[in-house]
Chain A
C-alpha cells in the first residue's frame, strides 16, 4: 500500500511557544481530498488537529488553507493529483497566509470581516422597487458584468497569496476590492461614490501589484484581479485622477505620438518637476551605467508605420462606446497555443482545476 505524509502546521497559543509541524502517515486512496485526509488523521491518529470545514463540496469556503505553499480549498484538491503535481511524497498544510492563526489551521476571521465592512458589501438600491410590484430589472449584459464577482464565497484564498497584502496589511486585498466591484458595477446600486471613496482612500486600490495570484488561487472563477482592473477603469470614468490614471494617460499619449514609451521623460510627466528632482539621483545612477537613451530627452525615435496607430486611435475612440466586451470564461481553461510540437515541462492535465 502506497503511503504519503501529511505534514500539518500545529500551534496552540495556550500551550505552544512556537508553531511546529506534525507529520501523519496515511495510505494514498484514489479520490481522497486533503480535507478527507485531515479527517482521517484526526479520527485515527490525533484528535487534537483543529481546522474549519463545512460543506465538503467547494461551496461554503470554510476550508481554505495553504497546501504545498498555495492557498486553495482543502475539499477541492485530491491527494493523488498533488503528489504528482509536486513530484513528492509529502503534502504540507499551513493556515492561509496574511492572517493571524488562532489554533492550527484556524485563523482570525474578524480582521477580514472588518476590511469587508469598509466597502459595505451589501446591496443598497438607488431607487425603490418598481411600483407595479415587479422586481428590480437589469439588462443581461449589465448582469453579466457582475456575474462572476457575485460568486465569491469569501474563502480568502486570494487574500492568502496576495503579494500587496504580504507587503502591507493595510491593503484591503483582492477579496474586498472584488466585493466592492460587485456592487459598484451593479447598475441597480446607489452607493457608488461612498464605495469608491473607501477603496481609493490612500490610493488603496492602486496598491495592487497585478501579480494575479488572486485569480490564480480563486476556486470559484471570481476573477479578483480582473475585477480590480475593471474598478480602475470605472474609477477613471468616474473622474478620479489617480497616479494610475496619469500613468495610463502617459502610455496612451506615447503610443499615439511615437509608438513606444518614452521612459526617460516618464518620471517628470508622472510626478511633475518636484518628482523629477526627487528622482534625479536615480536618473544619474542610470546614466552612469549606460542605461539611458539620450535621444529620448528630445522625443526619441518613432516606430515605423505610426500613421496606422494614429488612425486606429481615431476610429477606436469613436467606436468603443458601442462595443460590449464579454468577461472571459476562465474555469478550467488553459490557453495553450496550437503548435502540437510543444513539450511542457510539467503541467498536470487538469491545470490545477479539479
Chain B
C-alpha cells in the first residue's frame, strides 16, 4: 500500500469554534493509517472574504500556503470545503497563467519562498475513498452504524464549481453516501442534500437569507426521518449545528437534528468513544446517538 502522508492544512474553524473537528480528524486519520504533518506556518485561506477585497493578495497568501506543502514534498489535505475551494482556485489560476505565477513568485521570493505547483490540494473526504479505500475502511468497522439513518450534507465548495473542484459530478455526487454505507449506515436522500447552509452571507443577510436556508436544510433532513446529518465542512457544521436553534426560532418549529463532522461519524464506527470524538461539544444534543452506540 502506498504511503498515506499529507501536509495537514487545518484552517481556522478547526482551530477555533470546531475543536472537535480537529481532534476527531487527528484520531481517525491516525487509525486509518493516514499520517498528517500539520502545517503550523499556514495562514487562513481568506475564506472568500479577502478574495472579495484584494484578489492578488489572496492569491499570494494561498500560494504561500501551497508552497509550505511543497517544501515537505506532500499533497495538502484540508478538512474544510471553503479552504479546499480557495486553495484549488489559487492553484488553478497560477497553473494556467504563467505571467500571474511569475508575479506571485516575485512577491514570494522576497519572503524566501517559491510556488512551483507540485503539490495537489485534496480533502479528507476524498482521501478516505482514494487513499485509505472503502474496502479497508469496511474492514476496520467494529461498530457498524446500522440503526442510523444518516442525511449527507455535502456543502457547496466540495462539489461546486466543477471547473475547480472536479472530484465528482456536482449534480449527483456519491462520495459521502459511499462512506456512510462503508461504515454500515443508511444514507438518506433529502432535498437539501446538495443545498447551501447559508454561512457565507451571515453578516449581510442573516435574516433575509442565511437562517432561512439553515432552517430549510435541517427541515429537509428531518422530513426524511434522518437520525443525524453529516458534513465534511466545519462552516456548514457551524451553521447547521450552532445556528440551528436561531433558525428554528425564525420558522417557529423545533427541529433538533444533530449534525456530525465526517470524521466523527467514521470514528464512531471504527471504535472511538463519543467523548473522544467531542460529540458533547455540539449545540444540538447528540445524546440519542451516544445512547445508541454505547
From 250 to 275 in chain A, residues with beta carbon under 8 angstroms from any chain B beta carbon are 250-252, 254-255, 259-264, 270-271
B112 CB-CB contact with A under 8 Å? yes
Check A285–B201 contact: CB distance below 8 A.
no
Check B209–A209 contact: CB distance below 8 A.
yes
Complexed CA–CA distance, A271 and B280 (Å):
30
Q: Which residue of B lies closest to A205 (CB)?
A: B204
Q: Which residues of B contact A289 (CB under 8 A)?
A: 280-283
Complexed CA–CA distance, A262 and B47 (Å):
13
Check A285–B110 contact: CB distance below 8 A.
no
Check A304–B41 contact: CB distance below 8 A.
yes
A32 CB-CB contact with B under 8 Å? no
Check B160–A215 contact: CB distance below 8 A.
yes
Bitwise, A119-151 to B at CB < 8 A (1) or not (0) is 000000000000000000000000000000000
B200 CB-CB contact with A under 8 Å? yes
Q: Which residues of B contact A69 (CB under 8 A)?
A: 171
Check B61–A255 contact: CB distance below 8 A.
yes
Bitwise, B76-90 to A at CB < 8 A (1) or not (0) is 000000000000100
A298 CB-CB contact with B under 8 Å? no
Check B201–A208 contact: CB distance below 8 A.
yes
Bitwise, A221-253 to B at CB < 8 A (1) or not (0) is 000010001001100100000111111111110
Bitwise, B135-175 to A at CB < 8 A (1) or not (0) is 00000000000000000000011001111111111111111
Complexed CA–CA distance, A251 and B57 (Å):
12
Q: Which residues of B contact A259 (CB under 8 A)?
A: 41-44
Complexed CA–CA distance, A263 and B36 (Å):
24
Please tell me which stretch of A12-20, A191-199, A326-334 contacts chain B, meaning at least 4 of its Cβ atoms lie within 8 angstroms of it.
Answer: A326-334
Q: Using A207-B201, A255-B44 as known contacts, say yes or no to A293 and B19 having CB atoms under 8 A apart.
A: yes
From 298 to 354 in chain A, residues with beta carbon under 8 angstroms from any chain B beta carbon are 303-309, 311-317, 319-320, 323-326, 328-330, 333-339, 341-348, 351-352
Q: Which residues of A contact B174 (CB under 8 A)?
A: 345-346
Query: How far, in Å, is A34 (CB) from chain B's closest CB?
Result: 14
Check B16–A264 contact: CB distance below 8 A.
yes
Q: Which residue of B lies closest to A218 (CB)?
A: B161
Check A346–B168 contact: CB distance below 8 A.
yes
Check A261–B12 contact: CB distance below 8 A.
yes
Check B210–A209 contact: CB distance below 8 A.
yes
The size class of the interface chain A forms with chain B is 35 or more
A286 CB-CB contact with B under 8 Å? yes
Q: Which residues of B contact A333 (CB under 8 A)?
A: 163
B132 CB-CB contact with A under 8 Å? no
Q: Which residues of A contact B171 (CB under 8 A)?
A: 68-70, 85-86, 352
Check B52–A325 contact: CB distance below 8 A.
no
Complexed CA–CA distance, A70 and B160 (Å):
13
Check A346–B169 contact: CB distance below 8 A.
yes
Query: How far, in Å, is B82 (CB) from chain A's closest CB?
Result: 8
Complexed CA–CA distance, A351 and B201 (Å):
29
The size class of the interface chain B forms with chain A is 35 or more
Check A260–B43 contact: CB distance below 8 A.
yes
Q: Which residues of A contact B164 (CB under 8 A)?
A: 335
Q: Which residues of B contact A342 (CB under 8 A)?
A: 130
Complexed CA–CA distance, A107 and B199 (Å):
30
Check A345–B168 contact: CB distance below 8 A.
yes
Q: Which residue of A lies closest to B173 (CB)?
A: A345
A163 CB-CB contact with B under 8 Å? yes
B40, B53, B198: the one contacting A303 at CB < 8 Å is: B40
Q: Which residues of A contact B107 (CB under 8 A)?
A: 312, 315-316, 319
A60 CB-CB contact with B under 8 Å? no
Check B208–A168 contact: CB distance below 8 A.
yes
Check A212–B110 contact: CB distance below 8 A.
no
Bitwise, B46-70 to A at CB < 8 A (1) or not (0) is 1111111111110111001000000
Check A216–B283 contact: CB distance below 8 A.
no
From 110 to 125 in chain B, residues with beta carbon under 8 angstroms from any chain A beta carbon are 110-113, 120-122
Check B57–A252 contact: CB distance below 8 A.
yes
Complexed CA–CA distance, A268 and B70 (Å):
37
Most chain B CB inside 10 Å of its own CB: which residue of A261, A330, A342: A261
A210 CB-CB contact with B under 8 Å? yes
Check B57–A320 contact: CB distance below 8 A.
yes
Query: How far, in Å, is A80 (CB) from chain B's closest CB?
Result: 16
Q: Which residue of A lies closest to B172 (CB)?
A: A86
A282 CB-CB contact with B under 8 Å? yes
Complexed CA–CA distance, A211 and B205 (Å):
14
Q: Which residues of B contact A334 (CB under 8 A)?
A: 162-163, 166
Q: Using A296-B16, A345-B178 as known contacts, say yes or no to A311 and B111 having CB atoms under 8 A apart.
A: yes
Query: How far, in Å, is B24 (CB) from chain A's closest CB?
Result: 14
Check B16–A206 contact: CB distance below 8 A.
no
Check A303–B209 contact: CB distance below 8 A.
no
Check B61–A309 contact: CB distance below 8 A.
yes
Complexed CA–CA distance, A317 and B53 (Å):
12
Query: How far, in Å, is B238 (CB) from chain A's closest CB?
Result: 9
B16, B50, B75: the one contacting A248 at CB < 8 Å is: B50
Q: A213-B160, A312-B107, A315-B107 are in contact. List 9 more A-B contacts (CB 8 A).
A: A86-B171, A168-B205, A209-B210, A244-B49, A248-B50, A255-B44, A309-B43, A320-B56, A326-B97
Chain A residues with a Cβ under 8 A of chain B: 68-70, 85-86, 163-164, 166-168, 170-171, 203, 206-213, 215-216, 225, 229, 232-233, 236, 242-252, 254-255, 259-264, 270-271, 282, 285-286, 289-293, 296, 303-309, 311-317, 319-320, 323-326, 328-330, 333-339, 341-348, 351-352
A-B contact pairs, 24 of them (CB 8 A): A85-B169, A166-B216, A167-B209, A209-B196, A209-B210, A225-B161, A233-B54, A236-B52, A242-B204, A245-B52, A245-B53, A251-B47, A251-B49, A251-B50, A263-B12, A263-B17, A271-B203, A285-B242, A312-B110, A330-B163, A336-B167, A337-B75, A339-B75, A347-B169
7 residue pairs, one from A and one from B, having the closest CB atoms: A206-B204, A248-B53, A211-B196, A337-B120, A163-B196, A263-B16, A212-B160
